[in-house]
Amino acid sequence: MFKPEIQKNFRRLLNVLMLAVFFVSLASGLVKFPEFQRYFLFVYNYVSASQLSFWHDYGGLALIILIIIHLTVNRQWFAGVCRDCNRKFFHRPGGQVAIFNIIIFLLLAAAVIAAFIFMVNRPRPIVLSGVEIKNYQGEKLGSINDFRENSIKGAQYIDKNKYRLQITGLVSSSTSYSYDDILKLPDYQKVVTLSCVEGWSVKILWDGILVKDLFKNLSIDPSANTVIFYAVDGYSTSFPLDYILNNNIMMADKMNGVVLPPERGFPFELVAEQKWGYKWIKWITKIELSNDPNYKGYWESRGYSNGGNLNQSQFAQ
């Protein structure tokens, strides 16, 4: 149908495209992989985290499609890989067509499944309980929908009627608060920007209570120097007790004037000022007073800085 020279050039183009797409998908995946981020921080000066995710996810889908096209124009693809397989199957009457059709079917099925997963998991606007505040005292705010989903197990859905926040560890007696109990504490507002290690940030008006108000009716052991926060999904992170007490650190129940949606940490997210985003723990269910300043949470145990200070590298030195 096409001249041999055209077919030859088309095959070369396909090979180049497959190599290029494979490299882009692999490289973008490595840059976003937590254990490798420290070596590729300069990339975020030129490319956003969302762009990297797009290249990685859709690069894989594009690679599958290119492989299908490659097999379609060159049915002897396996000949050089497995000459014995080629002799046994491809040289049998009808064998080549049968094997080729099975391969094409499997790759098409993989492409359809991958496309379906991408469509299902693509970001959608979060349903809010009210209308977001866009400006506060002359300051332009970001949106709840500006956040990227990067939690370890996806959004968690907690029934506020069954919710209990446990306070344990080096205190006079362990106690627990219901959702309504916590909302009865004095309410505070503050505009704070969350900065993620992936390179994006969002400025939000946070409403909530001070963590130290949860300790008012408790006697804290003098040896306590660390506060460990735990989330319903198994996530955890820690802070020096002085940081929590001296900086009026908030546990927010609202953002931009609306109740935290499940995707953003309902019922409570920690507003960890001057800390990287991985310290802003969501879906908090337990707070422990400890005397272990070296406790390492989920990301800290995987190489991230225990302090998590914005003015320092996010990786442990």
Any idea where the domains of the chain sit in the sequence? Answer: 4-121, 135-302
Residue 38's pLDDT is 60
- In sequence order, what DSSP letters do the residues of 95-114 get, joined into one string? HHHHHHHHHHHHHHHHHHHH
Q: What is the CB-side half-sphere exposure of residue 153 using CA atoms within 13 A?
A: 12
Measured in whole angstroms, how far is the alpha carbon of residue 26 from the centre of its chain? 18
- The interaxial angle of helices 49-73 and 4-32, nearest 10 deg, is 150
pLDDT at 130: 76
Instruction: Provide the CA 40 distance to its chain's centre, in angstroms.
Output: 17
Q: What is the pLDDT of residue 195?
A: 93
From residue 203, alpha-carbon distances to 47, 234, 308 in Å are 20, 27, 18
Residue 74: what pLDDT?
65
* C-alpha to C-alpha distances, 317 to 36, 210, 236, nearest whole angstrom: 14, 31, 20
Q: Which amino acid would we find at residue 291?
A: N
The pLDDT of residue 98: 55
In sequence order, the 6+-apart residues with CB closer than 8 A to the CB of 59 are 21, 22, 24, 25, 28
Residues with Cβ within 8 Å of residue 296, at least 6 apart in sequence: 238, 306
Structure confidence at residue 197 (pLDDT): 85
The number of C-alpha atoms within 13 Å of 268 and in the hemisphere containing its C-beta is 30
d(CA 156, CA 188): 25
Do the beta carbons of residue 21 and residue 67 sit within 8 Å? no
CATH of domain 135-302: 3.90.420.10
- Of 133, 137, 130, 275, nearest in space to 204 by CA: 133
Residue stretches of the chain with pLDDT short of 70:
1-4, 7, 32-39, 41-42, 44-51, 53, 72-109, 111-125, 127, 317
- The answer to whether 74 and 96 are in contact (CB under 8 A) is no
pTM for the full model? 0.69
Reported as a single tens digit per residue, the pLDDT across 99-133 is: 656 666 666 667 666 666 655 555 556 767 778 99
Rounded to 5 degrees, what are φ and ψ at 177?
-120, 140
- Return d(Cα 105, Cα 88) in angstroms, integer: 21
Compute the chain's Rg from CA coordinates: 26
* Of 277, 304, 306, 284, nearest in space to 148 by CA: 277
Whole-angstrom Cα distance, residue 64 to residue 114? 9
